[in-house]
Amino acid sequence: MSWITLKTTKARWEAELMQQILNAYDIPCRVLNIGAGIYCGDGTQAALQVRSKDQWTALLLLSPPEDSQEIS
């Protein structure tokens, strides 16, 4: 199985939150520590990885909603 890094964060809790969202949609993912935190209190830097076949679905689920604009 091939894993790709979808997002990196400066705080592990951010990656774990994204992991919970993807788990709710049954998308396999994992969080990896990638280094010490840059700022005090931020914890460790982390990377969120998904299988390559789930990349686009995961990106759509984690992206911000689009603003709806009416066309006149």
Residue-wise pLDDT for 15-66, tens only, equals: 999 999 999 999 999 999 987 655 556 578 999 999 999 999 999 999 988 7
Q: Tell whether 72 is covered by a domain.
A: no
Number of domains observed in the structure of the chain: 1
Q: Tell whether 62 is covered by a domain.
A: no
pLDDT band at 72 (very low <50, low <70, confident <90, very high): low
Q: Tell whether 51 is covered by a domain.
A: yes
Residue 67's SS3 state is coil
**Strand 3-9 relative to strand 45-51: parallel, antiparallel, unpaired?**
antiparallel
Q: Tell whether 31 is covered by a domain.
A: yes
Print the domain residue range for 17: 3-55
Q: What is the pLDDT of residue 16?
A: 95
Q: Tell whether 60 is covered by a domain.
A: no
Q: Tell whether 20 is covered by a domain.
A: yes
pTM of the predicted model, to two decimals? Answer: 0.78
Residue with token string 């994204």: 18
Q: Tell whether 64 is covered by a domain.
A: no
Q: Tell whether 67 is covered by a domain.
A: no
Q: 10 Å Cβ neighbour count for 24?
A: 9
